Amino acid sequence: MTADKGYRFETEVVRIEQNDRFGSSAPPLYQSATFRAQDATHAGEFEYTRIGNPTRTILQDHVAKLIGCKYVLAVNSGMACLDVITRLLEPGDELICGQVLYSGSDRLMKQAQKKSAVDLRHEDLTDFENVKTKVTKRTKMIIIESPTNPLMQVVDVRKITEFAHSVNPECIVVCDNTMNSPLLMKPLDLGVDIHYESGTKYLNGHHDLMAGVIASNRKELIEEMHSVIESIGSGLSPFDSWLLLRGIKTLVLRMERVQQNAIQLARWLESQSFKVRYPGLKSHPQYELQRSQAAGSGALFSIETGDVKLSERIVANCKIFFVTISFGCVNSLISMPFREEATGSNPRDLIRICVGIENIQDLIDDMDQAIRKARRFSDV
């Protein structure tokens, strides 16, 4: 995969462009709220960190280079991205999103519906025939999450975007790329207007910061969103921008390793007769679709055991897999999404597994002992 300009992605990801006057090999951290003006009438490039900060700018430029787009805005969480994006809507505007999506996104959009009178519609975006009957000239925005968290449904980003733009060229198609990272999927290349993702997950990879990035080639949208960010102060802090720049450098290595581990663990779990939802498995109904729009399937998947108590005991007996919400970390994580969401849209026995970079045999052994213990208890 080649970065937009210059070298291939693997090379560009560690080549952070900056022109520090001392030639520092790590990007400089400008932990400063304010910047001195030349004089009373001439401000410098930066004035106030809520509006702009040099370390944040280095991060934004770096991510823009990796995505191959014109503009990136870095904010303080994935949800802050969605908040800023939905503020592009006005009362009465129709917003279409998937039926089952990340619970935090669902909550935020419901708030937009209640407080800002946005006309929110949940539609099955995995069924293109259905999408064709639902998207109309009135549709102002579509928010796609693919694969969805935690049911791992893949949405045809290109087809939906092309259709939406043919019906209403003004429709803003947005894609939550958190599950893929820019290494695996570049939604702007598939035609969408705005790509956003939680930097808390794969981009950073170490669960030591919260962040979000918004990418677009549409200047007018970026300007409107930047105006919201600078008014609120939701731009990513200098220190977190600096940490994220460090985390991103190992994105390729981490993604390669977690995906190698994920496919092996998913196959092993399938061999234990569990229903495994992972687009990297041929048994996944949208295996081909994921391959056609992404360069990999990530390292998050979910399984159904058929028995809530069994699922609970498996999760409780894992030793390497930390019981933690979130994903995208170098450590393997496990959780039961039904416990986290309010809508009750996920199967109660669903276990979500985020595969890390540990030794794969240790991961399989840990899962094996947890399942054996959990099953023994069920037999008693």
CB of 79 to ligand PLP, least distance (A): 4
Q: What are the structure tokens assigned to 271, written together? A: 């061999």
Handedness of CA 200, 203, 208, 211 (dihedral sign): negative
Binder to ligand PLP among 83, 93, 94, 176 (CB under 6 A)? 176
Identity of the amino acid at 47: E
Residue least distant from ligand PLP (Cβ):
78
Return d(Cα 101, Cα 122) in angstroms, integer.
Answer: 10
Q: Which string of x and - marks every residue 204-233 that binds ligand PLP (by CB under 6 A)?
A: ------x-x---------------------
Considering only 30-38, 41-49, 77-85, 290-298, which stretch makes contact with ligand PLP by CB under 6 A?
77-85
Q: Closest distance between ligand PLP and the C-beta of residue 19, in Å?
A: 30
* Cβ proximity to ligand PLP, 238 vs 328, nearer residue: 328
198 near ligand PLP (CB under 6 A): yes
DSSP designation for 4? S
For residue 312, the minimal CB distance to ligand PLP (Å) is 21
Q: What are phi and psi of 243, to 5 degrees?
A: -65, -40
Does the protein bind ligand PLP through residue 149 (CB under 6 A)?
yes
Stretch that binds ligand PLP, among 152-160, 171-179, 356-364, 372-380 (CB under 6 A): 171-179
* Residue 271 beta carbon to ligand PLP: minimum distance, rounded to whole angstroms: 28
Q: Which one of 60, 146, 200, 332 is in contact with ligand PLP (CB under 6 A)?
A: 200
Interhelix angle 308-317/360-379, nearest 10 degrees: 130
* DSSP, residue by residue, 247-290: HHTTHHHHHHHHHHHHHHHHHHHHHTT-EEE-TTSTTSTTHHHH
- E strand map for 100-202: 119-123, 139-145, 172-176, 194-198
Chosen residue from 18, 99, 326, 331 binding ligand PLP by CB under 6 A: 326
CA dist 77 and 168 (Å) reads 30
- The candidate with the shortest Cα–Cα distance to 157, out of 186, 123, 136, 184, is 186
Closer Cβ to ligand PLP, 46 or 148, answer by number: 148
- Which is closer to ligand PLP, CB of 12 or CB of 153? 153
Where do contacts with ligand PLP occur on this chain (CB under 6 A)?
A: 77-79, 102, 104-105, 145, 149, 176, 178-179, 198, 200, 210, 212, 326
